[in-house]
Amino acid sequence: MAETIIKIEGTQELLRNLNKWEDKISDDTGDIIQVGAFEITKEARRAAPKDTGLLKARIKKKKLGKFSAEVLAETHYASYVEFGTVKMRAQPYMRPAVEMVAPKIVKEIKRIVPK
């Protein structure tokens, strides 16, 4: 299965700070991250092109820990659709979903994380 990784700049610093403040941060932070991952999943499904419907059905959220989650498109051709090939134009669905939701997640976390 091809793997596509989308990196949001600044997340490593945010995760370091979250781990450092883990005892001080309310459960709300973890909830924001999980809800945000769910929203990315929902937006990616909405934006994914529908041929057989398999790609939309295989976009899933996985909770990795209290402060982390991932959204995956579990098909062998997911990255071909996202980025295109020499014979097929790109039909981005994951990147636009991340770009739409990630700033909202960061804003909500910054609102509740101690300075």
Question: Could you read off the pLDDT of 51-107 as tens digits, one per residue?
Answer: 889 999 999 999 988 888 999 999 999 999 999 999 999 999 999 999 999 999 989
Report the alpha-carbon distance of residue 110 to residue 29 in Å, rounded.
Answer: 9
**Phi/psi of residue 60, nearest 5 degrees:** -135, 155
Say what the pTM is.
0.77
Question: Beta-carbon neighbour count of residue 71 at 10 Å?
Answer: 23
Is beta strand 68-73 parallel, antiparallel or unpaired with respect to 59-65? antiparallel
pLDDT at 93: 96
State whether the Cα torsion 12-15-16-17 is positive or negative: positive
